Amino acid sequence: MVAMFNPIYFVVAGLAAAFLLTLFHNRERLSYFIMIIALSLMMLISLAHLASFLAGTGEIVQVFTAGFAPPFSINFQMGPPEALLTAIVSLVGLLSGIYLSEQLRKTGAYAQAVYIVLVMGMNAMILTRDLFNLFVFLEIVSIATVGILFLSRSRTSVNTGFTYMVASGLISVVLLIGIVFAYMNAGSLNIDTLSESLVMAGRGGSIAVLLITLAFLLELKPFPANGWGIDLYTSAPGALSALISAGGMSATYYALAKVLPVGQWSHDSLVAAVGGITFIASQIIALKQDDSRRLLGYSSIGQIGLLLVVLGFSEALGDRRDFIAAGLLITHALSKSILFYISDMVQDDSLRGWAALRRKPVLLVLFGVAAFALIGFPPFPSFFAKWDLILLLNGGTEGYYLLSAMVLAGSLIEAVYLFRWFSYALKLPHEDLPELASPTSRLIAPVTAALVLAGASWYVSTLVSGFSQSFLIPVAFILLVAVIDRLPAWSKNVISIAGVSLYIADLYPRIAGDLMTMIFAGIFLVGAVLTLLSGFYYKGRRAGFYPMALTMFAGLAALIEAATILEFFWGWELMAIGSYFLLIRGKKSMPHGLSYLLFSIGGSYSILYGFSLAAAGAGGVIAMSSLVGISVMPALAYSLMLLGFLTKTASIGVHIWLPGAHGEAVADIHFMASAILLKAGVFGLITVLLAMGSEAGYTRWILLALGWIGVLSALLGNISAAFQESAKRLLAWSSIGQLGYIVWGLASMSHLGWLIALGYSVTHFLYKGILFLAIGGIALKIGTPYMYKMGGLIKRMPYSFFAVLIAIITLSGVPPLVGFSAKWITYNLIISEQLYYQGFVILIAGIIAFLYLFRMIYTVFLGQLKDNLRSVGEISIWFRIPMYLLLIVILVLSFLPNTLLRPIGDMLSGIFPEEAIVWTGSRGVTSLGYFDGAMIMYVIVGIFVILTILFLLLRKQTQKVKQFNIFYSGEAPSRPELSHFSYNFFAHYRKAVGALALPLVTGFWDRVTEIIHAVSDFIRRIYTGNGQTYLFHIVLYVVVVFLVQSGGYR
Amino acid sequence: MRSNDDFLSKKIVPGVEGDEIEVDPIRDYYCDAVPQVSREYKRAYPSIIDRFKNWARSESIWILAYGSGCGAIEMRPLMTPKYDAYQYGIQWRPTPRQANLLMVSGYLSLKTLRIVIRAYEQMPSPKYVMGLGSCTINGGMYYDSYNTINRLDYYLPVDVYVAGCMPRPESLLDGLELLKKLIREGKGHGADIYAEKFEWYKANQKKILKSWNMPDYSW
Amino acid sequence: MNIGSIAMGAGFLLVLIGLWGILTRTHIIQIIVSFSVVDTGVHLIMVAAGYMHQRTAPIISEGLAASDAPSLVVDPLPQALVLTAIVIGLGVTALMLAFALRIHEKNDTLEIKNIERLRW
Amino acid sequence: MIRTFGIILTLIGVAFLFFSLFLEYETPLELSGSASYYAASTAEDTGSANLVSAIVVTYRGLDTLGEVTILFLTSSIMSYMLKTKKARNQRTFRESSELLRTASALLVPFIILLGVFIFVHGHLSPGGGFQGGAVLASALVLLLVADPLYTVQSRILSVIESSSGFLYVLLGLSGLLFGAGFLDSRVLPTGRVGELFSAGLIPLIYILIGLKVGTELSNLLSVFHSVQGQDLMEDEGGAR
Amino acid sequence: MSWTLRILYALLTLFIVMNVGLLLNGVTRKIYARVNRRVGIRFYQPYIDLVKNYSLTNLVTHGVMFYLGPIFRLTSGVGLILFIPLIYGSQGFSNFSFSGDAVLILYFLFFGTLGMALGSGESGQPHSAIGVARGLAQVTAAEIPLVLSFLSVFIQYQSLSITEIVGAQQSGILQWTFFTNPLAGVTALLAFLGSMMRSPFDVVLAPQEIPIGPPTEYHGAFLGVLQTNRAIFPVAKTILYVNLFFGGAASWPALIPKAFLLYMWSVVVGTVFPRYRVDQSIRWFLKVPLALGLLSIVCIHFC
């Protein structure tokens, strides 16, 4: 069957159709129809071959033209890479053809003929194995590109066209000279024969090969010499840019891949270097772009740079190279074409103009899919490709550590400008933007591209070893929920809760034994059910909330169930996506959501780097056990992983995203993000610290640093919390403080320390849950999170007041409740582990927590009730149910602290053998001291009850009075607002200790971004806009590369 | 400057949930209860405990440090070593909540009368009033002034008057001695008398204080 | 120094002159002309590559039997390649001229410096 | 000033590159690699006397097909790029001299005959489809120069052009179906070297190429000719 | 010990401590008066004031939390005294100290503060809120020397249980922590000043300025409860310091003079120094006491 689809039909179909078209050029409808038929025929051929290869049955097809053997005639070869690339080229060609239908039809049959020849040329470039034939088809492609470029008929397209022509002319000169001299040395033009003949190693031969490689590199628009390329993307019609970046670039890239073996891989380091420079430079320049087309141009050139790096390191990547290159190429081709298609629909070219996408949600979803695919988030192929790339770069005999760091830095910068752009689209006003030109004919192209990308993602994930398919089930469930997004919120809520609880039921037997995962599974999944429960409060549709919330929970579940570090990383990134979309929902949350995402991406990249070193140490094995005892640069690996997880626990230094992101989040999202999301960081820290242990020498310094980070975050978090005006920001800062406490506990690497950390994680979940739900509910009801706008709510919401009171007492660690057990263990830890100085700061930070606790409960509940709050009812029942569930748990734990601490202690004794606490009933005894939770509770409650009864007996006539019956030195208070002391509550404290709450860290990160922007501004100056300068750059580039290569090492 | 009445007029305030809230300051901000007579006053004959309580009340009199008029300066020497009222259990408290004795030390203009009435009503009972100087007895040299009151006990139940156009500290101490004797004998029922003849007192007060913009009894 | 190396040297020289023209002339037509000079230079190099001393053109005729062609004939392949290269050069130059016309129509100038261009 | 200095420096660099290439070049003494195969076996493989035509048409037939496509591309791009307004205002030209008009009328048929001869004998004598086509086009140039108001019936030219292109592809396809591979010229008997009806499909293909190249070049020239003094078709809309 | 016996002992302890507390209050105010060369109040005046406050007939309450505020305060006072082992050796008089060690006492101090703050908060009185804000701000700074000194004591004896610490100091005066760990002792004395709300650091209850801070709205029986606590709470804290730094006591006659003398230390300093503003007091705590505390820990840690 495959014989019937002979690759030569690409050329035949293309040319026959082109020549036929010009015959009936006056009947547009017929000619356009023929064009579509030709394009779909080409796609059919490539898909047939691709299908046969994917099914594993196909073998490489050699096609001889003119009936003679290759060295004497031109031959086509259709192997797996060719099949894939021709499939991409023909697919994008067909989609762009449909997209450009009305322009092509208007310009006439000739343009359609040129378009068919363009797509045919690209396919032929991929297939041909003959150097000169490759040159001919390269010329066909560049001429046809210029022809189609003219379709946009604008002045810039004409000017760009001319420079493009001259530039490709120069490149063809270089290529021709290269081919001629290659022929003179080896006597043949066929690539395969040239590769075998060693004669190329001679001086002339090596220069010829250098010229050929250089020509193809120049065609791929390397950094200094790509002025002409950037203008092409900017002025060409969107669909053409899509075809160029997806089709043209892939074809030339594969041509280069075919040509490299000719010189016995002598120039692979050159290719890698050029690729690396192009990747980094174009990402940095793209930072400063505000024109969407130009930015996409830089980004696609950057992606090609990355592919060049992959090509350059072929022998380091070994057989995985094809998988990586294929993964990156598919994602790049499809997502770039999606973006280019959309760019043609948006009339306003500036980045902010894309906010108009919100008028058509389908396009916004497509934009999101493309952006996340480009950066390499799960489930897209680029995620697995980037994973393998970094692992192999660091894994080989001599790891290319600097290079992999550079690749990650580059993709981080790419994430910066892509997500900044995406958040513009999500959040900026779009009322005054021009209308979208998006008829259905134009929608087909991006939608099909996205569907193909999804299919490719599914297929790639089946290829990857160390990634079980069970992780895709939650993703499928999320897609299902996304599809039914039209339903009202409550129905989706029921479905999601059912889904999560089903997952818990299925998960429970698997992790029943291991308490550590059970704790975190409880926090993640039971917490999920609780937060979703509070979601019943919302009326209406609440578009996009449930899929994204479930993505986050799926990510968290994946963390728990991960058997290999790949699955762990998959869960981590999935969670980052979900949580970003939840946090971005707040009205003023755009800058904070963006900084959250960038910090989490930076964090996950440092985790990825750490994992790669771990995998390198374990010889490529990526089971979770490979994290234990890393042999390759262990100090760097562990500290990078810890840094990555610290960004998620928002410890000092990387915490600046949290106050804004959580401060602006909606009520239950705030609870989700803080009580659950931060614990993901803690779970990560635990996994790493368990793997690291504390025996090795370097661990002492890492743990010391980790401890001090935890301590400082506790201190500074609590102090800054005291000075916040918005209740939500206050709680956000307090989460930083609490997490600092947990990090310090973990850093002590002792039985007691981990007991505190785990105990705290659970109790933090409980009381922070109550606080977030209460404050969130009130902020929702009152409409503002600012505390000075509240006051006296105890009279309107007594139940919430009681819950918040209990939560506050637990948080501050005052005896009767469960918080005290953590404080007690802290003292034991400080003395037994001799962490005196850190311990002292932590204790003081614990005391400072009182400040913001009292401030919150006073300004919100006590004091004077304002007029507009007079008729406010209790917060919604859906907030109060989870609140009271958590309250009951806290009270039970307060009575019997051992129910929580004993099981954790027993489990920990497995890890830290020293037997720290001996529990008898609710009485814990350590070597230093003792405490009995139940007894304390009985005594205190007993005294309290007795005194209350005594006082009630003694009571005389008591007169209940209202809010203005206060001693106001004889005057009558005028308005409730004036006699409610809440704004700038700790002014005097700020005078004394305010220096500690200065935003120094934010200043530091601003400095960093300023530097990068300055560099970007400096580099991009070389594109002066003058065509001749670009030509001069090309010639200069040729000379420099020649001098470097020849002077270099020959 | 907005007059005081403006604060007490009814107003419509937009509520947080988009509803309109009708706020009537008198009803919403202030408690409008009327003082009750205490059980002790009703009892015909003071029991042993009452007598002990009255003794304790006499031995520890907390004065509201409110100097109204020129007599206040006479109270200061009581804090000095020369007269030292502390040894008799007398103390000065800044808030009426914790005070038992209201010392009206001189003339009371209409404005200060309003403040004195509020201060008196905010004191817990049993509470006593001591008028110093002739101004409180019969208006003193300001008897014909348009804005001072002539007799204090028309407006507040006064227990002890100390004559003198500003009595010296010694006479103050003497007055305090008399007050302690009255309290010990259980005659310190100013608060209950005020509660009993509440309407009468209120009528007097309202007659002289034309713009009565506060609840009848400001707790 | 046989004719082959002279031709090759001349070819290289022509390419250099053409490049100089492209990089320094500001008028677009002059750039197109210098580009065709470069093209000719390259074609000359290609032909020179195929030149062999004291050999004749690769046409089999009475005077040149098919059997002893390998020892008498010049390398035919570069001549085939140069044929294609010349046609490609023609196509590119024709298109450049068309673009020059369009540029003049849109920008009313043919100076490459003041064509209104996209900046960084 | 710095610009030119920079350019000089770069060109010296390029010169150095060329020089290092030039040093390696020494004219080979005898044919090597595929050239020796071509020289030895073209005659009995394809039966074409002119080795270059054999290479151009059969051995590296795909290149030629590519070339033809490039020419086709150029002419079709030109056709929609330089479309002029419908109304052709009459341009006043100085009457060309008597000598030129009569000479051109006389010479044009002979030039066309020469062109046809060249591409018909492509496989025997030097030259071939492209060279013959160029000669044909030169005939048209002569006509245009002689009589500027001469309007070329571009309709016929484009029909010949596309039909010859299409036929060329069909011949290639026939090679695939009947011969050993796409563009294999041995579908027809290769005959004796030097005969007119020999070398299989090569003459036929060359004729088609000659016609195509001739018509395309003339089409190209007529477009350029018709553009003089006209304002180009302003595009109605189109993107930025 | 059966529960009833334990409760009887507790009542007895409370009775003794309350009397000691009231007498101490009386004596303190007598000393203040004597410094002003005044005759001063009768030493039993606090008793009278207490009875008078309880005897007042009507009470004004602003809400449940306001009502329970003083009771929180008194529970904290009573709880504190019951959790501290008063008499070394006697099972009875160490009351409920078996239910928690020094950490429980350290954190139980805040129970009362929180309760009082919430109670005065509900009264709607802005001055009380200002007082509470000052109190909390100051207590975080006053905690620094306290935590440091207590920490160095716990490190020195490697134990958190007060009875053990007292036991280690029984063999003679030179064995007192004050002498074996002088730096911690001095820091503790400075910390003692901070926690006793005496004049250098009594900006919280600044009379006249923010009419006595948090308890502005409290009167009658509420004030009585507060005064009972004012009797028990300082004595409890003093006994805590005595136990930790001055060798505790084997019997009441040994305990009361020590408590009295230590109590007088804060009174004497109180009479001489004027009142600090809040930020001044915070800065004061961050200078000398912090340095001394750290020194004491370093010293214990290394030498």
- The residue among D42, D57, D81 with the most chain A CBs within 10 A of its CB, best to mutate, is D81
The chain A residues in contact with chain B (CB within 8 A) are 781-783, 867-872, 956-957, 959-965, 967, 970-976
Cβ within 8 Å of A, E 152-181? 154-155, 158-161
Contacting residues for A773 by C-beta, under 8 A, at least 6 apart = A534, A667, A668, A671, A875, A879, A880, A882, A883
Residues of chain A under the 50 pLDDT cut: 1049-1050
Which among C57, C61, C75 has CB closest to D31?
C75
Residue B101: which of B195, B28, B175 has the closest Cα? B175
Q: Give the Cα-Cα-Cα angle E177, E183, E189 (nearest 5 degrees).
A: 80
Which among D55, D70, D125 has CB closest to C76?
D55
Neighbours of A549 (CB within 10 A): 28
Residues of C in contact with D240 (CB under 8 A): none
The chain B residues in contact with chain E (CB within 8 A) are 35-36, 38-40, 52-53, 56-57, 59-60, 62, 65, 80-81, 84, 86-87, 89, 91, 93-95, 97-98, 100, 122, 124-126, 191, 219
The verdict on E51 touching B (C-beta cutoff 8 Å) is yes
In chain D, count of helices (H) and strands (E)? 8, 0
Please give the structure tokens belonging to residue D126: 């030097």
Contacting residues for A312 by C-beta, under 8 A, at least 6 apart = A268, A269, A270, A271, A272, A273, A275, A276
Peptide bond into B126 cis (omega under 30): yes
Neighbours of A586 (CB within 10 A): 21
Residue with tokens 């804060």: E266
Contact B17 A965 (CB under 8 A): no
For chain D, percent of residues with pLDDT exceeding 90: 7
Smallest Cα distance from D138 to chain A, Å: 24
The verdict on C108 touching D (C-beta cutoff 8 Å) is no
Q: Are strands B128-132 and B101-104 parallel, antiparallel or unpaired?
A: parallel
pLDDT at A3: 62
Residues of A in contact with B23 (CB under 8 A): 867, 870
- Domain that residue E30 falls in: 3-302
Residues of A in contact with E99 (CB under 8 A): 931-932, 935-936, 939
The verdict on E295 touching A (C-beta cutoff 8 Å) is no
Number of structural domains chain B divides into: 1
Neighbours of E15 (CB within 10 A): 10
Q: Please report, to the nearest 10 degrees, the dihedral formed by the alpha carbons of residues E24, E30, E33, E34 taken in order.
A: -120
Residue with tokens 């996408």: A357
For chain E, percent of residues with pLDDT exceeding 70: 98
Smallest Cα distance from E84 to chain B, Å: 33
The verdict on A564 touching D (C-beta cutoff 8 Å) is no
Smallest Cα distance from D102 to chain C, Å: 30
Number of structural domains chain C divides into: 1
Q: How far apart are CA A770 and CA A764, in angstroms?
A: 10
Smallest Cα distance from E39 to chain A, Å: 31
pLDDT at E186: 92
Contact D186 A186 (CB under 8 A): no
Torsion angles phi and psi, residue A401, rounded to 5: -65, -45
Residue A1038: which of A270, A11, A345, A447 has the closest Cα? A270
Which among D29, D59, D130 has CB closest to C87?
D130
The verdict on A133 touching D (C-beta cutoff 8 Å) is yes
Cβ within 8 Å of E, A 31-50? none
Question: Is residue B142 one of the residues assigned to a domain?
Answer: yes
A642 neighbors A706 (Cβ within 8 angstroms): yes
Average pLDDT over residues C64-70: 77
Smallest Cα distance from E34 to chain A, Å: 32
Contact A975 B36 (CB under 8 A): no
Residues of D in contact with A205 (CB under 8 A): 24
The verdict on E43 touching B (C-beta cutoff 8 Å) is no
Residue type, A688: V
pTM: predicted TM-score of the whole model, two decimal places:
0.87
Torsion angles phi and psi, residue B109, rounded to 5: -75, 170
Contact D62 A74 (CB under 8 A): yes
pLDDT at B19: 83
Contacting residues for D130 by C-beta, under 8 A, at least 6 apart = C83, C86, C87, D67, D209, D210, D213
Question: Which residue in B has a C-alpha nearest to residue E55's C-alpha?
Answer: B53
- For chains A and B, what is the number of CB pairs under 8 angstroms? 73
Question: Is residue B40 one of the residues assigned to a domain?
Answer: no
Question: Which residue in D has a C-alpha nearest to residue A437's C-alpha?
Answer: D239
pLDDT at A960: 87
Question: Which residue in C has a C-alpha nearest to residue A132's C-alpha?
Answer: C81
Neighbours of B80 (CB within 10 A): 13
Smallest Cα distance from B201 to chain E, Å: 20
- The residue among D34, D36, D74 with the most chain C CBs within 10 A of its CB, best to mutate, is D74
- Domain that residue B176 falls in: 47-208
Cβ within 8 Å of C, A 116-135? 132
Q: Could you tell me the CATH number of the domain that includes residue B136?
A: 3.40.50.12280
pLDDT at C119: 62
Residue type, A253: Y
pLDDT at A714: 92
Contact D62 A110 (CB under 8 A): no
Residue type, D21: L
Residues of A in contact with E159 (CB under 8 A): 928-929
Please give the structure tokens belonging to residue B75: 């109270």
- The residue among E3, E6, E75 with the most chain A CBs within 10 A of its CB, best to mutate, is E75
Contact E51 B95 (CB under 8 A): no
Smallest Cα distance from A366 to chain D, Å: 22
Residue A883, SS3?
helix
The verdict on B49 touching A (C-beta cutoff 8 Å) is no
Please give the structure tokens belonging to residue A232: 């092409």
**Do C and A touch, counting CB pairs below 8 Å (3 needed)?**
yes
The verdict on C77 touching D (C-beta cutoff 8 Å) is yes
For residue B4, name the pLDDT band (cuts at 50, 70, 90): low
Which among A234, A1031, A1035 has CB closest to C118?
A234
pLDDT at B210: 81
The verdict on B165 touching A (C-beta cutoff 8 Å) is no
pLDDT at A338: 92
pLDDT at D25: 77
| Residue A726 bridge partners (DSSP) | A786
Q: How far apart are CA A650 and CA A1006, in angstroms?
A: 17
Average pLDDT over residues E238-256: 89
- Domain that residue C105 falls in: 3-53+67-118
The verdict on E101 touching A (C-beta cutoff 8 Å) is yes
